[in-house]
Structure 1
């Protein structure tokens, strides 16, 4: 305790309960896991002002304190809480000036302190394959030593506790005829016997999923609420998620986030799917979303497995998250088969970048702690790589608060236009000349044959005929050779 209260030990033998006083309430801050060295407060609250409160641990008076003027509550502070501060606390009050007429005790409140020397337990679901409705399963918790006391929690709420046998270091929590209501994240903790307020850290969470494997898995996508079709939404915008499957009007659909159920809805005929809308989005609305559906026959509820996850990102409200820059390297004309790099640069070092093509996520990259840019390599680029690219970033440790997208840069993949055109034009010209020469040679050959027939009736000397024939054949042969080697 940070302070003591001398003179607060009244002669409790003479106190009486006042039936007109209502029972006080008692609360602990913080309410989550408390470790040694943390600062803790216990608040006691009564029904009226001008009261004196007393705090008890295991029915032993610890301290007394008057509430401030015009207040009906007071706080008892523990600075740098220790393992021995763990225990069961209650409080009572009396009116100032009437120290022997008391209220009844509050309900007990347990202060549990985590002992860092106790290693974290492990937890698993048995059997570990897919679990169907109506099946019997077991959640097993295991600690580092024998004879421990285990407690099982679902989403942070205590479900049950179990004392293990002296020769065992694990506890088994059976679940019979499991249903959708048993789904959730489970953790467990333990303490040693004889020290019920010094606990280990919670185990890592294990997820219990109860689904009918005969039902097809639904699909989910984020519908654009902004001009650019990405999964990034501005603060105050709308998150619109579309979930669809083969089952329509006879099913109820559920939207999950990390993984508790957020909303339920029925088929929307106008959309041809089920549409979930989260209005006025905040940073906390960023995260991983899935959807599932359930059919509800007369005696049992059948549910599908959850869809593949989709990520929703909220643009950072922090003005320091300025828009990144993006460029293609090299910035000259890019030819098919070339290797290129798309570079994204942010305002600070150690950022996480994601690259998008036409609004669709392509890849992500964590930059080194000393760099403020990410380089995305593309090897042997082709026409399929053409398009508009953008990038975004977020700070490490805050994966759902994103910057605005960069301006788009266009990747154009083209062959060298000048060389290709010149080569094509020259080839066409040669082909045209070649065809013309061959056509002329054929015409000359036909014409000579015709002249031969006309001159046969003429009385020419044999040497003259031979000379004319040889000259004609030479001309035709030269024309053919010219066409072949043009």
Structure 2
């Protein structure tokens, strides 16, 4: 009798461990299939779930629903779920998870698709560390199958002569080094002379004479800073690769003052004292000998203001009698004379940031805030800078306040029709203003979240229990939160 008939069956289990695991950063287990004979892989199949840490509980899922759980008296790092001969009822998309204690589970493993006699599911192809080639960088393509011990085949689009072969007798993946740009696919075969699997989705590898430019920012991800002479500030340079050599530049020359530190492998922070106004850029290069520098980043501007010049005057004019959603506000900053560079500064509970800079011909700069939202609430002032380090004291503060909710986002599904059980359901939460995080809700409960600039939310490995209506919302600069979007219905196909 197969393991699926002997372990505790949990068909119809609610989100339980799978949903709970999504809220933790934890060791994800690995799942693969082993065949009794690679010449007939579906005649005798076993799924192997391997944990990164000792665990006493393993759980197996099929098409988004828990189908088996085993409890061990002593901890182990691996459990084998025998399927035996694969019948139609056993075909589907499997994943596993492991216990992290009495009430916590890991996130779900990678998926393994089980089909049936005469078919081999497509492998997955990915690039590392990036999807481009450049002098001095080794780019590899990793082809991964669900089945252990197969032979992998890499092909290049439009080149029937190009075929790389890699055997993996004790693994379920193989790495191929690529030296030229093209579209690549991979497949695999279970034995010599066997029919290859369906090809993977293609991966496009680009050719770049230089790596892409990094991104430089100051303060709260800003592009301009107004500082007093000698004031400390930090510049963050982020590259698309890990482990690069970074360089900070001012006026086209390397800036050697200050210190540097980093907690992430793809970026560096430069700590400096404000001594010289002007434009700062950064660049990076591979650590190999003779590697070329990347192009410079977009510049960050530093304005110095010692407060020795008279403060400007600030005034506001609104397009409507009261402040509300969609209102346009014009802020005017006026100095005693002409020839200055003005900066508009917003300050709220999150800190201070420059909203804009101008160098008008006359004594007045005009800044516009369009489509006013709660993100624009705060105290506004302006300063102007002359020949460094001369600069004005800040103007009197002008309070703009609108405490309504953030504008409602739009949620839309990135699929059509019904979602196949076991697949991921991706939704896009389109928001009209900047955000720091997104949340996907079902029946008022958060079921998925995302951080950073992406607008996509993923509900992983859906099953029948995931059917229903979903809304999204976004957050921006605590404690601001948006209204809920209109609902989107998720329908799950019959398994």
Q: Please give the TM-score of this superposition, normalised by the length of structure 2.
A: 0.33
Comparing both chains, which one has the higher relative contact order based on Cα–Cα distances under 8 Å and sequence gaps of 6 or more?
Answer: 2
Which structure: greater strand fraction?
A: 2
Q: Give the number of the structure whose alpha-carbon radius of gyration is greater.
A: 1
Greater helix percent: which structure? 1
